[in-house]
Amino acid sequence: MRSDPRSEDKSVKETFGVALVVVASLAIPAAASAQGQANKGQQVFATLKCSICHSIAGEGNKKGPLEGVGSKLSAEEIRQWITNAPDMAAKAKAERKPAMKAFTLPKDELDDLVAYLQTLKK
């Protein structure tokens, strides 16, 4: 006995619909979490007074603009600039004075700061 093609089609649509809802429900909290992490990173940026040497959107020291850093560098490269700036400056042949120092931050603050800097895309 053959099954009704309409019922098979309906079953496929229902399965697809359920899968779509599940994927969407997982993606929305992840996006909200990433935005929350970036917001915390913006606070870390302010607390560490990074604007003494760097600027974002024209605010801070214009000799160290960070606009577009999220497009130019990977998360790992941003992390290395924060935690191992002297080596990164040598690799980039950066000669800015004063040279950036290496920072030691708690992992969550470092992750938040990296997430924030990754949002800085032109």
- The predicted-structure confidence for 45-84, as pLDDT tens digits, reads as follows 999 999 999 999 999 999 999 999 999 999 999 999 999 9
DSSP state of 97: S
Q: Which of these, 67, 57, 69, 75, lies nearest to 115 by C-alpha position?
A: 75
**pLDDT average, residue stretch 32-38:** 78
DSSP state of 2: P
User: Is 77 within 8 Å of 89 (Cβ atoms)?
Assistant: no
Is the pLDDT at 35 greater than 90? The verdict is: no
Q: Where are the beta strands (DSSP E) in 1-122?
A: 55-56, 59-60
pTM above 0.95, yes or no: no
